């Protein structure tokens, strides 16, 4: 007897489920799916081929289109389920699959293959989306007006090739999640225009420097000294150049690579330094706690502090790290005084124009409501000055004056952002003490320990002057100590930033 049975008429359930797709909801899903796949493909190609793709392409390719693709799959599924509910008895809600049937078998195999390919492709897609949200163009360009000051300063800084996320997120899952959570809040603030202007600093939850800066900069490195030349053009008619050559004693903080000494003594390898700040900007420091290698503790209190010892004990302590000095490693808003000096030194502005230093700083440091108003006022201010005070110069040196105006307008656009209410005074730079309190927040001779030792303001502790000259500095007679060009008495008794504000004056 022939035992082989005739195949059961089981084509029907699979055929039926395909029929189930033929409903308006699922068909809309299929159409949306095809369009999304085509879009992903095209945007992906543009992103790969274009030399400078717009950041919006990334958003479309890796976030918006995949979102629609997932929506389309959900639509298809929803349509199928609705259709089944209409036709099938509750007991036969799920399709009966018989793998002995070759039509059904190949259908199941194609379905699983599709699923696998989809999972792999969407994993790659999610990675691309993740990579994109970490990219500099996402952080710096998409939130255009919000981040424009930070992004502009960043592009002109030593870290222009370091991605924003390297300092602001770093490696590991915890900070990734933290940053994405606060990131989505920021996206909403941007959309609804509720973000603060300027964006506040210090950043409250900045990741500790050990996990960001120190991934690239080995903290144990011993730097020794570094020769730096500081150039200043005077506010006189001749814009007299003064140059100071100084050996900055950067040093190091780890006994393994050199004596812990100099500025990087604060690296917190041999010692631990914690402090209390009396203000949000951390510019007023009433209390410092130092624990050395042997575990000995020294506490320094500011003589003139407005906080009582009790209040200080209750205040939160900050652990000193790289960012307490290098708080502007990349978002450096150069003061007008310094940016004009740099432009004169690089000959982008003609140094023979009378009083150009003083006038340039005056127009740059004035307050304007918008960028356009500022650019117009800079042009009319400088032209006006030469027409009234130096009519000959205004006539004979039109080209130099026009070039100076263009350069000063560019300086303004790079350093001052009226829309975001931000200029060089907004975020003090803590490295040094010339335009901002900086090191003198602690090294002012006014912070004393119980045994009467003060944190030193000795002018040779952090640097020594090699030479100080009028005109270009040459390696001539070394200057024993810094000579202030104007007699202002004992230098250890003054605060430089009181007169050297970075704007007009002193
Ligand atoms: C070299 C490391 C580094 C890189 C790269 C970097 N930042 Fe920062 N950023 C900092 C530090 C340090 C601060 C200030 C922290 C403080 O004082 O608390 C800061 C502060 C900020 C602030 C707060 C406002 C301010 O100016 O202090 C914003 C906004 C910001 N960064 C955005 C960006 C964006 C956007 C990028 C990429 C275009 C970027 N950052 C790249 C280190 C970095
Ligand atoms: C992804 C690596 C990377 C990270 C993270 C990084 N830096 Fe740097 N940094 C560099 C490189 C590279 C240079 C040298 C740039 C050059 O000279 O061209 C540099 C230069 C510097 C300099 C010398 C600047 C100058 O004026 O010459 C300082 C200071 C510095 N970094 C501090 C920091 C601080 C503080 C942080 C953390 C907020 C940080 N860096 C994070 C890579 C990094
Ligand atoms: C007490 C303040 C302070 C602390 C804390 C500090 N630095 Fe510095 N660092 C300085 C000063 C000041 C210089 C000299 C820079 C100058 O004059 O331009 C410097 C120079 C540097 C340079 C450039 C050195 C060279 O010779 O080119 C690097 C890189 C650097 N620091 C990285 C770091 C890192 C990383 C940390 C944290 C582990 C750190 N610094 C902590 C104050 C500090
Ligand atoms: C939060 C407070 C604080 C800040 C800000 C600070 N310092 Fe200090 N610094 C100290 C303390 C405390 C000591 C130890 C004083 C002592 O032992 O007499 C010290 C010691 C030093 C020393 C001597 C190290 C040695 O060889 O023993 C140098 C150099 C120095 N600081 C440079 C700087 C520079 C440069 C800056 C600014 C970029 C700066 N400091 C900012 C607190 C600070
Ligand atoms: C705690 C360390 C420290 C002490 C104390 C200190 N300085 Fe400085 N000084 C610095 C640092 C760091 C810089 C370099 C900042 C930079 O690279 O921009 C600097 C820069 C300078 C400059 C050049 C500024 C410029 O932009 O032209 C002069 C001038 C100067 N110091 C004079 C003095 C005098 C005078 C004293 C004594 C009252 C003094 N310093 C005490 C750390 C110190
Ligand atoms: C009482 C106000 C006052 C204080 C405080 C002060 N200066 Fe000055 N400083 C001046 C004046 C005024 C000039 C001359 C400006 C000119 O000739 O254009 C000057 C010029 C300079 C110059 C030459 C640069 C230039 O623009 O010609 C340097 C460098 C300098 N001061 C450093 C310092 C340092 C470092 C400190 C802190 C230890 C300090 N000054 C504190 C008023 C002051």
Ligand 5 pocket, residue 459 CB under 6 Å: yes
What tokens does 11 get?
């084509």
Q: Are 47 and 65 in contact (CB under 8 A)?
A: no
Confidence (pLDDT) at 1: 42
pLDDT, tens only, 3-19: 444 554 444 555 666 67
Tell me how many degrees the CA angle 297-302-303 measures, rounded to the nearest 5: 125
Q: What separation in Å is there between the alpha carbon of 260 and the centre of ligand 4?
A: 12
Q: Which position has the token pair 């500011």?
A: 302
Torsion of CA 327, 331, 335, 341, to 10 degrees: 110
Q: What separation in Å is there between the alpha carbon of 431 and the centre of ligand 3?
A: 8
* Exposure class string for 390-424: b at 16+ Cβ within 10 A, else e: beebbeebeebbeebbebbbebbebbbbbebebbb
Return the residue whose CA atom lies nearest to atom 34 of ligand 6. Answer: 496
Return the residue whose CA atom lies nearest to atom 2 of ligand 6. Answer: 499
What tokens does 64 get?
């918006």
Confidence (pLDDT) at 104: 84
Pocket test residue of 136, 217, 218, 332 for ligand 2, highest count of atoms within 8 A of CB:
217
Confidence (pLDDT) at 11: 47
What is the position in ligand 4's atom list of the atom closest to the CA of 262? 29
Confidence (pLDDT) at 402: 96
Q: Are 167 and 213 in contact (CB under 8 A)?
A: yes
Ligand 3 pocket, residue 106 CB under 6 Å: no
What is the position in ligand 3's atom list of the atom closest to the CA of 210? 38
Alpha-carbon distance values, 111 to 26, 116, 117, 294, 404 (Å): 17, 9, 10, 68, 69
CA-CA distance, 420 to 412, in Å (whole number)?
14
User: Quick one: which of 40, 33, 136 has its CA closest to 48?
Assistant: 40
Q: Are 420 and 197 in contact (CB under 8 A)?
A: yes
Return the residue whose CA atom lies nearest to atom 42 of ligand 4. Answer: 442
Ligand 1 pocket, residue 167 CB under 6 Å: yes
Ligand 2 pocket, residue 158 CB under 6 Å: yes
Ligand 4 pocket, residue 440 CB under 6 Å: no
Low-confidence stretches of the chain (pLDDT < 70) are: 1-18, 52-55, 88-95, 142-144, 268-270, 472-480
Q: Is the peptide bond before 231 cis (omega within 30 degrees of 0)?
A: no
Q: What separation in Å is there between the alpha carbon of 462 and the centre of ligand 5?
A: 7
What is the position in ligand 1's atom list of the atom closest to the CA of 143? 35
What tokens does 117 get?
């390919």
What is the position in ligand 6's atom list of the atom closest to the CA of 240? 27
């Amino acid at each position: 007897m022939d035992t082989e049975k005739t195949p059961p008429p089981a084509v029907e359930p699979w055929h039926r489920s395909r029929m189930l797709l033929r409903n308006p909801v699922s068909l809309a899903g299929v159409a949306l799916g095809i369009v999304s796949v085509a879009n992903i493909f095209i945007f992906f190609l543009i992103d790969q081929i274009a030399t400078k793709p717009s950041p919006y392409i990334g958003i479309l390719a890796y976030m918006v289109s995949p979102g629609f693709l997932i929506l389309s799959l959900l639509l298809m599924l929803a349509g199928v389920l609705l259709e089944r509910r209409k036709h099938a008895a509750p007991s036969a809600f799920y399709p009966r699959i018989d793998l002995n049937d070759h039509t059904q078998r190949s259908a199941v195999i194609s379905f699983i293959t599709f699923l696998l390919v989809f999972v792999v492709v969407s994993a790659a897609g999610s990675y691309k989306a993740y990579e994109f949200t970490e990219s500099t163009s996402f952080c710096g360009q998409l939130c255009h007006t919000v981040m424009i000051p930070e992004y502009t300063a960043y592009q002109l800084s030593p870290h222009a090739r370091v991605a924003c996320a390297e300092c602001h997120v770093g490696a590991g899952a915890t900070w990734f999640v933290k940053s994405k959570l606060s990131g989505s809040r920021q996206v909403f603030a941007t959309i609804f225009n509720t973000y603060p202007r300027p964006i506040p600093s210090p950043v409250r939850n900045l990741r500790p420097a050990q996990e960001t800066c120190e991934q690239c900069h080995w903290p144990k490195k011993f730097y020794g000294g570094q020769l730096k030349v500081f150039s200043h053009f005077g506010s006189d008619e001749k814009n007299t150049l003064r140059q100071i050559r100084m050996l900055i004693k950067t040093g190091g903080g780890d006994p393994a690579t050199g004596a812990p000494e100099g500025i990087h003594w604060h690296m917190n390898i041999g010692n631990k330094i914690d402090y209390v700040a009396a203000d949000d900007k951390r510019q007023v420091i009433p209390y410092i706690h130092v624990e050395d290698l042997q575990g000995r503790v020294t506490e320094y209190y500011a003589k003139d502090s407005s906080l009582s010892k009790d209040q200080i004990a209750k205040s939160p302590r900050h652990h000193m790290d790289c960012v307490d000095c290098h708080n502007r490693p990349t978002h450096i808003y150069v003061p007008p005084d310094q940016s004009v000096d740099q432009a004169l030194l690089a000959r982008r502005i003609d140094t023979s124009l009378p009083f150009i230093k003083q006038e340039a700083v005056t127009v740059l440091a004035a307050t304007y409501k918008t960028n356009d108003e500022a650019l117009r006022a800079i042009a009319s201010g400088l032209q006006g000055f030469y027409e009234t005070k130096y009519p000959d110069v205004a006539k004979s040196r039109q080209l130099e004056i026009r070039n100076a105006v263009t350069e000063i307008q560019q300086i303004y656009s790079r350093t001052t952002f009226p829309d975001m209410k931000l200029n060089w005074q907004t975020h003090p730079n803590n490295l040094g003490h010339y335009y901002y309190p900086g090191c003198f927040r602690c090294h002012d001779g006014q912070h004393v320990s119980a045994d009467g030792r003060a944190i030193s303001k000795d002018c040779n502790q952090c640097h020594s002057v090699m030479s100080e000259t009028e005109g270009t500095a040459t390696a001539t007679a070394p200057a024993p100590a810094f000579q202030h060009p104007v007699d202002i008495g004992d230098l250890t008794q003054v605060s430089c930033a009181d007169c050297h504000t970075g704007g007009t004056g002193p």
